[in-house]
Amino acid sequence: MNLTRRAQSVLRRNFTLEDLLPTRMPVYVQSVVYLFGVSALSAFGMLVLTGVVMSLFGPEWYHGSAAGRFVNSVHFWSVQIFFGAIVLHLTSKFLMAAWRDGRWKTWLVGALTFGLAVFTGLTGFLSQTNWDSQWISVQAKDAMNALGVGAFFNTLNLGQVLTLHVVVLPLSVAALIGIHLVLIRREGPVKPIETLGGADEPADR
Amino acid sequence: MSQRTDEYLRGVPLMPYDLLREGLTALLIVALVVVALAAIFSSPDYPPVRSEDVARLQPVAYLKTSASFLAGTSGIDGYGPPYTNDTANAQSVFGLAPASWLGVRIPLDPAQDFVLKPLGHAAALDPALNDALSSYTDASSDQQAAWVKAYLAALDTAQVQNGEVKLGSGDYGPVAVMMDGMLRLGRGGLLEGALESDAHLPYSLDFTRSLLFFQDDVDANVASSLDMTGDQWGVSHETGGYPGAWWLWPYTFLYQVPFIAVSDNADLLIGLIMLVIFLLLVFTPFIPFWRRVPRWLRAYRLIWRDWYRDHGEGRPEAQPGGSSPGSRDSPGG
List of chain B residues whose C-beta atoms are within 8 Å of the C-beta of residue A159: 205-206
CA dihedral B275, B281, B286, B287 (to 10 degrees): 80
pLDDT digits (tens, 9 = 90+) for B270-307: 999 999 999 999 999 999 999 999 999 999 999 999 98
CB A126 within 8 A of CB A136: yes
Kindly provide the ipTM of the predicted complex, given to two decimals.
0.91
Nearest C-alpha neighbor of A193 from the set B193, B215, B238, B299: B299
pTM equals 0.90
User: Average pLDDT, stretch B302-321?
Assistant: 70
pLDDT of residue B150: 97
B291 touches chain A (CB under 8 A): yes
Burial B4-37 (b: 16+ CB within 10 A, else e): bbbebbbbbbbbeeeeeeeeeebbeebbebbbeb
Rounded CA-CA distance A158/A65 in Å is 22
Q: Among B5, B108, B231, which would you mutate to test the A interface (most chain A Cβ atoms within 10 Å of its Cβ)? A: B5
**Nearest residue to A14 via CA among A159, A187, A140, A205:** A187
Which ranges of B139-216 does DSSP label H, i.e. alpha helix?
A: 141-155, 175-187, 191-195, 208-213
Interface probe, candidates A21, A25, A44, A129, chain B, greatest B C-beta count within 10 A: A25
- Quote the pLDDT of residue B320: 43
CA atoms within 13 A on the CB side of B247: 21
The rounded distance, in Å, linking the Cα atoms of B245 and B230 is: 13
- Residue A16 has what pLDDT? 79
d(CA A186, CA A19) in angstroms, rounded, equals: 6
CB pair distance less than 8 Å for A130 and B44: yes
Is the separation of the CB atoms in A45 and B27 below 8 Å?
yes
Q: How far is B247 from chain A (nearest CA, A)?
A: 7
Alpha carbons A11 and A4: distance in angstroms, whole number: 11
More confident position, B239 or B327: B239
Nearest of A141, A134, A129 to residue A61 by alpha carbon:
A129
pLDDT single digits (tens) B72-97: 999 999 899 999 998 888 899 998 99
- Nearest Cα neighbor of A121 from A84, A175, A66 is A84
Identify the residue with better confidence: A2 or A69: A69
Neighbouring C-alpha atoms within 13 Å toward the C-beta of B197: 17
A24 beta partners: B16
How sure is the predictor about A200, in pLDDT bands with cuts at 50, 70 and 90? low
A1, A10 contact by CB (below 8 A): no
Contacts of B102 in chain A (CB under 8 A): 148, 151-152
Residue B70: Cβ within 10 Å count: 25
Top residue of A129, A182, A195, A201 to mutate, by most chain B CBs within 10 Å, is A195
Residue A195 is predicted with a pLDDT of 53
- Residue A201 sits at the vertex; the CA angle it makes with A117 and B327, to the nearest 5 degrees, is 90
Domain-wise residue ranges, chain A: 32-96, 101-191
For residues A131-153, average pLDDT: 94
Residues of A in contact with B295 (CB under 8 A): 97, 193, 200
